[in-house]
């Protein structure tokens, strides 16, 4: 059953879809709708063609939002929390997701259209002096979202005895906190660059290009550490089983 759920080494404590998860799914559905060019059927072939030209920017924004949704989904499947602190953290998380949608779409459409030369239809306009403010808005939302995810896992970690988390589940929980703090750190660095010198706004955007390599390296190291813990647990289990068999056999004659 754990394999069917998607996690072999973590027992999911969440049951049926809760009211919190239902509200979250509705908010993410609304956010994805806001990314669309139009909710109406195009009135001409030219309008349909322009809508398809914006597909690369939509896919990029879609991937970011699904990434955030997945982290939220895994959290609630693992712990199934529905108390007041969880509701508060979840509400703040959804608030930031909704605020994050338009800066996300604006930035990706601008980058793909102006700097990568892709035909994405109507490219947004921005003055050079407005770039620092855009990066502050984008990085502020990004940082807040992942700090809240880290806070959610931190709350679950404080209740680890209540959940009766085993050693592997505790390792996964600590790893999730570290992963979300790492993601938030990119937003913090981006904010620090812009606040230090507005002329560094382009570098503040390039900071996010390091996320893939650093998260990949961290994921590799975390996987190796998990394998070592699994091997140690297997050896301990084998030793205990051998000791039990020896006790049952009794002294040799």
**Residue 30, domain extent:** 13-121
What was the pLDDT predicted at 202? 85
Query: Which residues in the chain land under pLDDT 70?
Result: 1-6, 37-42, 47, 115-124, 235-253
Considering the domain architecture, whether residues 90 and 165 belong to the same structural domain is answered as no
For CA atoms 11, 17, 22, 23, the dihedral sign is negative
CA distance 74 to 229: 22
Considering the domain architecture, whether residues 156 and 88 belong to the same structural domain is answered as no
Which of 6, 33, 153 lies closest to 93 in space, CA to CA? 153
Which of 96, 121, 146 corresponds to the end of one domain? 121
CA distance 250 to 253: 9
CA distance 64 to 108: 11
Considering the domain architecture, whether residues 165 and 214 belong to the same structural domain is answered as yes
What was the pLDDT predicted at 190? 95
Provide the domain count of the chain. Answer: 2
Residue 144 forms part of a structural domain: yes
Helix residue ranges per DSSP H, the chain? 2-5, 19-35, 45-53, 55-79, 84-110, 131-158, 160-163, 167-196, 201-206, 211-249
CA distance 75 to 165: 14
Which of 98, 121, 144 corresponds to the end of one domain? 121
Model's pTM, two decimal places?
0.83
- Tokens found for residue 84: 């007041």
Residue 112 forms part of a structural domain: yes
What was the pLDDT predicted at 123? 66
């Amino acid at each position: 059953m754990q394999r069917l759920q998607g996690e072999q080494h973590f027992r999911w404590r969440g049951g049926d879809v809760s009211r919190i998860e239902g509200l979250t799914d509705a908010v993410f559905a609304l956010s994805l709708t806001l990314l669309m060019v139009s909710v109406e059927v195009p009135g001409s072939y030219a309008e349909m063609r322009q809508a398809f030209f914006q597909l690369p920017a939509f896919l990029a924004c879609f991937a970011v939002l699904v990434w955030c949704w997945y982290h939220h989904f895994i959290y609630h499947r693992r712990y199934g929390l529905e108390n007041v602190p969880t509701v508060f953290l979840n509400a703040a998380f959804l608030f930031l997701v909704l605020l994050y949608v338009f800066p996300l779409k604006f930035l990706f459409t601008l980058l793909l259209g102006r700097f990568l030369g892709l035909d994405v239809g109507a490219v947004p306009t921005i003055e050079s002096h407005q770039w620092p403010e855009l990066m502050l808005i984008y990085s502020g939302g990004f940082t807040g979202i992942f700090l809240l995810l880290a806070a959610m896992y931190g709350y679950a970690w404080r209740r680890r005895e209540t959940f009766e988390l085993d050693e592997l589940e505790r390792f996964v929980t600590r790893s999730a906190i570290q992963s979300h703090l790492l993601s938030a750190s990119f937003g913090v660095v981006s904010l620090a660059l812009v606040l230090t010198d507005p002329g560094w706004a382009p570098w503040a955007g390039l900071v996010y290009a390091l996320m893939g390599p650093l998260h990949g390296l961290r994921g590799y190291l975390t996987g190796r550490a998990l394998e070592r813990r699994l091997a140690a647990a297997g050896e301990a289990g084998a030793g205990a089983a051998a000791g039990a068999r020896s006790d049952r056999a009794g002294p040799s004659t």
